[in-house]
């Protein structure tokens, strides 16, 4: 069983367990459930850097990345650095995150916040809204087309934007539909965990202009962003490159300054 299969199997059990403890009606009473969301799509379209900075404690491929820093410290640092949006890992078992991380981030920033998790059930969309997310991630590798349609339409009905993540042309072809806002190309091969920016480059022309293009994983240098911008990408999700440092906010500041230098 692949690591992705293990994650989805664990997620299915987790969601069923949470449903029994916290029914949907419970989350709908959350003070954050009725708040107007902040558009990541619009922010990226109007941004010079397009950096979506991520809070990420650990991952299956890299084990511990940074478990020392408080979420609010990281989030404030990213906002001060000039990040366009935030990505918050909420998977606990494999990534060390939580929904509490999401609500803490929401409390300390006005930026658009993405709930990054393995969403397989409409229940998780209700959770995302209740904890202050503006955007949710759907991963084409683990969802069939009818499920992507169901989840994306329900997300938009809740006022959430949808970032659809693909890894290859087959996933992109399967998943393209009007109920998506942003298309993210993950440069990490989920089977080998190898990373190549050529994945984003090769898929760029296949993504219709109606979607904002986001490149994910393996972005370590400002030059990589500038190169990807020539392929039409407006969003760049950066996590490990910032989180592996003692001061992610400072690392993000230096990265964005370097990116905007000589513009």
Q: What is the pLDDT of residue 65?
A: 65
Among residues 11, 116, 129, 213, which one is catalytic?
Answer: 116
- Asked about 216 being catalytic, the answer comes back as yes
Task: Provide the H-helix boundaries in 197-263.
Answer: 198-203, 222-229, 240-243, 248-260
Among residues 14, 127, 216, 240, which one is catalytic?
Answer: 216
- Asked about 153 being catalytic, the answer comes back as no
Q: Are 127 and 27 in contact (CB under 8 A)?
A: yes
Among residues 14, 161, 165, 171, which one is catalytic?
Answer: 165
Euclidean distance between CA atoms 23 and 30, whole angstroms:
12
Write out the two tokens for 171.
Answer: 């996933």
Among residues 56, 87, 171, 187, which one is catalytic?
Answer: 56
- Asked about 41 being catalytic, the answer comes back as no
Q: What is the pLDDT of residue 128?
A: 98
Among residues 54, 127, 171, 240, which one is catalytic?
Answer: 54
Among residues 43, 47, 66, 186, which one is catalytic?
Answer: 186
Q: What is the pLDDT of residue 68?
A: 75
Q: Would you call 83 exposed, middle or buried from its count of C-beta atoms within 10 A (0-12, 13-18, 19+)?
A: buried
- Asked about 116 being catalytic, the answer comes back as yes
Does an H or E element contain 13, and which? helix 3-21
Q: What is the pLDDT of residue 177?
A: 98
pLDDT tens, position by position, for the chain (263 residues)?
788 899 999 999 999 999 999 999 999 999 999 999 999 999 999 998 899 999 998 777 666 666 778 899 999 999 999 999 999 999 999 999 999 999 999 999 999 999 999 999 999 999 999 999 999 999 999 999 999 999 999 999 999 999 999 999 999 999 999 999 999 999 988 777 789 999 999 999 999 999 999 999 999 999 999 999 999 999 999 988 999 999 999 999 999 999 988 55
Rg (CA), the chain: 17
- Asked about 56 being catalytic, the answer comes back as yes
3-260 has which CATH code?
3.20.20.70
């Amino acid at each position: 069983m692949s690591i992705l299969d293990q994650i989805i199997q664990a997620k299915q059990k987790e969601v069923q367990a949470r449903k029994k403890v916290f029914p949907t009606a419970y989350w709908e009473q959350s003070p954050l459930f009725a708040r107007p969301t902040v558009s990541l799509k619009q922010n990226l379209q109007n941004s010079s850097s397009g950096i979506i900075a991520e809070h990420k404690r650990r991952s299956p491929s890299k084990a511990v990345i940074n478990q020392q820093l408080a979420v609010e410290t990281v989030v404030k640092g990213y906002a001060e650095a000039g990040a366009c949006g935030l990505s918050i890992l909420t998977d606990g078992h494999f990534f060390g995150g939580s929904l509490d991380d999401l609500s803490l981030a929401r409390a300390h920033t006005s930026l658009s916040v993405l709930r990054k998790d393995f969403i397989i059930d409409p229940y998780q969309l209700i959770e995302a809204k209740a904890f202050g997310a503006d955007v949710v991630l759907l991963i084409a590798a683990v969802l069939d087309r009818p499920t992507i349609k169901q989840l994306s339409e329900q997300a938009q009905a809740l006022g959430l934007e949808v970032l659809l993540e693909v890894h290859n042309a087959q996933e992109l072809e399967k998943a393209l539909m009007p109920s998506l806002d942003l298309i993210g190309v993950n440069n990490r091969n989920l089977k080998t965990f190898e990373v190549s920016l050529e994945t984003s480059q090769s898929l760029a022309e296949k993504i219709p202009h109606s979607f904002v293009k986001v490149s994910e994983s393996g972005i370590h240098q400002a030059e990589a962003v500038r190169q990807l911008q020539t392929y039409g990408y407006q969003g760049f999700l950066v996590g490990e490159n910032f989180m592996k440092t003692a001061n992610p906010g400072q690392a993000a500041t230096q990265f964005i300054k370097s990116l905007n230098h000589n513009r």
